[in-house]
């Protein structure tokens, strides 16, 4: 399972990947604290879904 962190402040969204939920949560929190809008998607072999991280 991988986590896709999509973040944007101005302009085009950017993406970072994390291999576990703890790392995804930490990255999302850091980005939000600096003013980015952040969405986190959980990717599995069955597809992707947005999470509430």
Q: Specify the pLDDT at position 42.
A: 98
pLDDT at 29: 98
Asked whether the whole model's pTM tops 0.85, one would answer: yes
C-alpha 32/C-alpha 48 separation (Å) is 22
Question: Measured between alpha carbons, how far is residue 20 from residues 6, 9, 39 in Å?
Answer: 15, 24, 15
How many domains in the chain? 1
Q: What is the pLDDT of residues 1-53, one digit of tens each?
A: 999 999 999 888 999 999 999 999 999 999 999 999 999 999 999 999 999 99
Q: How far is Cα 32 from Cα 18, in angstroms, rounded to an integer?
A: 16
Q: Which residues contact 46 (CB under 8 A, 6 or more apart)?
A: none
According to the model, what pLDDT value does residue 11 have?
Answer: 85
Continuous segment of H or E residues that includes residue 47: strand 47-50
Count of C-beta atoms within a 10 Å radius of residue 45: 5
Domain assignment of residue 24, given as a range: 2-50
């Amino acid at each position: 399972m991988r986590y896709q962190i999509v973040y944007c402040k101005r302009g085009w969204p950017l993406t970072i990947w994390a291999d576990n939920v703890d790392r995804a949560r930490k990255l999302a929190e850091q980005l939000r604290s600096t003013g980015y809008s952040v969405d986190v998607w959980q990717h599995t072999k069955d597809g992707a879904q947005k999470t509430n991280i």
